[in-house]
Amino acid sequence: MLSSCSALTHAPLVRTSVAYKPIIIVIQLLMLTACGGPVEPAADEPWYGSGSETMSATHPDMKWERVLEAAPWGERAMPRGGLLDGQFYVIAGRAGALTIYGDTWRSPDGVQWEMMSDDPGWEKRAYPEIEFVQGNIILTGGQSLATFYNDVWRSADKGKTWELMNGDAPWDVRAGHHTAVVGDDIYLYGGARNSFGRIFYPELWVSSDQGASWELRSQLPEDMGRAGMQVVEIDGTIYFMGGDHDNPVFVANWEGRRNDVWKSDDEGATWELLGNAPWKPRTGQQCVAADVKVFCIGGHLRGPLEETAQYLAHDLWMWDPKASGESMDGWQLVNNQVWGCPATNESCGKSDFLMVIRDNKIWTLGGDREVASPWPQDNDVWYAEIPN
């Protein structure tokens, strides 16, 4: 998720009457024209940039290859999806200031794409979450320009058609939440509603029937109520990391950006703070688990003090929690040239992209490169071999 003026291009609106929605959209666009960037950091606060001031990349020669420059699903931030039956899926997302998607696309190789549906029955939206359970696709929550959702939809035919599983789930409307599958259960963490006066949800909900019903598994520690975090599961242990408390959504809350790592060994019932990772506090980063390791890439983070816009990250970090005894010293900076960016801490990279691991490769699809006008996003596809 973005902050400051760049985020105004996609900030959802507070729920209000239909008559006032166009007025609020105009106000937001006027604010975008008038303002010049995120609130400048205080002089006594540290500079956050890509990579590390103290660590060198373990694999600086890691090759990143762009296999497709412009996928037919169009430029978009936060495409959701992943892998089903070995094929890539891209679902929903946002493009520019006012375009919201409600489509589903599939590809066997990241290059050739087939649209599965463009009229799914659910409202077009950005920042939903997608999971794959027993061959079915499950969509939860998200937001349009003016509305937040707490519905759950399922597709049993590879995204061609969708059925409503729950039109009013017991968790409140939200976007920026995170879902993950443990066994065949869907875990739903955090998230927030509203652009102004954001309400964050420090809670974990679990569904054992593909979203038809939900139980509140845990009221999380208050600080875990956030958006833009990432959650992975390795051998029964859940790790929760990063994210933001930006409020309103278009103003960077530097003190609320996180690089902390929490864990739960009891299916999310209780949580322990392990410490702070060496990567800089950020939101919009993407993390996945593979071969008992955690891989994290990119995101929006803080630039140097003299800059007014936040930076995009292009670093790849790896953590083997079991081998390192869950120590934060176990994090390794693998590469600081993701997407062909220079091996420096300057702004280059993206946030809110789709990250998938397949065939021992890290794949990224689409993403958000907004830090200033003209607010670029992309629809490219990249991959790199995971180093030994």
Q: What percent of the chain has pLDDT over 70?
A: 85
Enter the tokens of residue 279: 């990567």
What pLDDT is attached to residue 302?
85
Residue 141 banded pLDDT, cuts 50, 70, 90: very high
What pLDDT is attached to residue 96?
85
What pLDDT is attached to residue 248?
73
Residue 24 banded pLDDT, cuts 50, 70, 90: very low
Asked if the model's pLDDT at residue 13 lies above 60, the reply is no
What pLDDT is attached to residue 368?
94
Question: What value does the mean pLDDT take over residues 93-117?
Answer: 95
152-156, 199-203, 354-358, 372-376: range with lowest mean pLDDT: 372-376
What pLDDT is attached to residue 180?
97
Instruction: Render pLDDT for 320-332 as a digit per residue (tens, 0 to 9).
Output: 999 999 999 999 9
Phi, psi of 11, rounded to the nearest 5 degrees: -65, 130
Q: Which domain holds residue 166?
A: 4-385
Residue 27 banded pLDDT, cuts 50, 70, 90: very low
Residue 86 banded pLDDT, cuts 50, 70, 90: very high
What pLDDT is attached to residue 33?
31
We report the CATH number of the domain holding residue 237 as: 2.120.10.80
Asked if the model's pLDDT at residue 376 lies above 50, the reply is yes
Mean predicted lDDT score pLDDT of the chain: 87
Instruction: Render pLDDT for 259-282 as a digit per residue (tens, 0 to 9).
Output: 999 999 999 999 999 999 999 999
Instruction: Render pLDDT for 108-138 as a digit per residue (tens, 0 to 9).
Output: 999 999 999 999 999 999 999 999 999 999 9
**Residue, of 83 and 38, whose pLDDT is higher:** 83
Q: 75, 129, 125: which is closest to 100 by C-alpha? A: 125
CA separation, residue 180 to residues 106, 238, 239 (Å):
20, 10, 11
Q: Do residues 50 and 338 make contact, with C-beta atoms less than 8 angstroms apart? A: no
Instruction: Render pLDDT for 219-232 as a digit per residue (tens, 0 to 9).
Output: 999 999 999 999 99
> CA torsion angle for 84, 88, 89, 93 (degrees, to 10)?
140
Question: What value does the mean pLDDT take over residues 350-358?
Answer: 97
Asked if the model's pLDDT at residue 11 lies above 50, the reply is no
What pLDDT is attached to residue 275?
97
Asked if the model's pLDDT at residue 38 lies above 50, the reply is no
Q: Mapped to the 3 state alphabet, what secondary structure does the chain carry?
A: CCCHHHHCCCCCCCCCCHHHHHHHHHHHHHHHHHCCCCCCCCCCCCCCCCCCCCCCCCCCCCCCEEEECCCCCCCCECCEEEEECCEEEEEEEEECCCEEEEEEEEECCCCCCEEEECCCCCCCCECCEEEEECCEEEEEEEECCCCEEEEEEEECCCCCCCEEEECCCCCCCEECCEEEEECCEEEEECCEECCCCCEECCEEEEECCCCCCCEEEEECCHHHCCECCEEEEECCEEEEEEEECCCCCCCCCHHHCEEEEEEECCCCCCCEEEEECCCCCEECCEEEEECCEEEEECCEECCCCCCCCCEECCCEEEECCCCCCCCHHHCEEEECCHHHCCCCCCCCCCECCEEEEECCEEEEEEEECCCCCCCCEEEEEEEEECCC
Written as one letter, the residue type at 55 is M
Number of domains within the chain? 1
What pLDDT is attached to residue 28?
41
Question: What value does the mean pLDDT take over residues 364-377?
Answer: 86
pTM for this structure?
0.88
Asked if the model's pLDDT at residue 42 lies above 80, the reply is no
Question: What value does the mean pLDDT take over residues 68-74?
Answer: 98
Enter the tokens of residue 246: 């930006």
Residue 1 banded pLDDT, cuts 50, 70, 90: very low
What pLDDT is attached to residue 246?
86
Written as one letter, the residue type at 126 is A
- Cα of first residue to Cα of last residue in the chain, in angstroms, is 32
Asked if the model's pLDDT at residue 289 lies above 70, the reply is yes
What pLDDT is attached to residue 15?
33
Cα separation of 297 and 4, whole Å?
22
Enter the tokens of residue 306: 């003299």
Instruction: Render pLDDT for 311-321 as a digit per residue (tens, 0 to 9).
Output: 999 999 999 99
Residue 29 banded pLDDT, cuts 50, 70, 90: very low
Asked if the model's pLDDT at residue 47 lies above 60, the reply is no
Enter the tokens of residue 292: 């008992």
